[in-house]
Structure 1
């Protein structure tokens, strides 16, 4: 069981670093990008001086909220290729603060360990049923927020707001799929992947049930460092050619 043993004070210091408005804005911007961001890109996006952005970005790295690495963006090597750029992305480290201290994650890990060791199919099915009901509640709430006779786009916007509130960080990619950039259950999913991902899929299938929409499915497609579920548009089945001429032609063949 990988229970992260980090002093409580370090969790507090990391979160306290976000109390500074410019630092918090930089952190949220980088999280929203979902990947590597340079100092210049961050400074330009937030309209601040590069030196100011660099100072705050380094503080975020120091507190463990961001990770940094160097990469040459030109694609060239050798003399004249230019210096590598420093890139920033959200840290994989998890911060938790509870006063007085609580350990709900530890309790969840013990529950998950018991379920996995017991291998009780009825118990796991019951968890997935409850998860699907929970997701259906999210979908129903999104439908209410979107208003009467909502367009698909309004339904999707409302759903993204709610999923974001639960920590999934939905994002539409270039293909129109909605990917969930964050797994709120990551600490459990690392050790109990099948159990947690199955529950997560049930939640998202429930969301679609609550939305009462068609043309979208929730499927397992786990990319690195993201949630395992993606909302994907379903492809319509090809229309059958029932013309008499076409049928007769096929019979002759």
Structure 2
């Protein structure tokens, strides 16, 4: 049986954006635009790299479509009033991060958890270990709560939300013999150097994710394996029973 691995939508979008720079003219235009201190129009861009205006327009608009540039409309400097004509299109770099790593990594997510833990530990006088565990669980809960599919409870598709969130964050979840294995560690380099710290943080993060999804008879456990994440999600009927008991009260 062929196992389909779920991939992050962000990853696919970033790959498409970076792939757009494979065209040499498009790459030159992109580099020119981002090097300027302010948005530039197609005429200036075309003259800078030595191509026709219509060629520059085509590639600049492709860069917009591929998520690498933004546009704004303004009148050329020194022109205004009723006879100034329509505003011209100007191009500037998008204000978002675009990165591609193979396999996908999420060091930004690890940094967010660690920064939150240090801030709380210093502010509240708690141990860094306790602050890290709490920050990781809270982050896991937030990942599910902020995921679009979690906005439609009771539609019969809730059991897939955890898998979707894990895929969205680069874990590459797949089901094997009733367990959810995570084919990729988004924090691999950090985990290799600080195994106990990072794997513990990762376990708490996924615990928080499962908690936010409610008592569905699943639990996360450390189960290191070659070339995959250290956490495995398994069936645990005790969590489901515990949830039903709490609902009964």
Greater relative contact order (Cα < 8 A, sep 6+) = 2
Normalised TM-score (structure 1): 0.44
Normalised TM-score (structure 2): 0.44
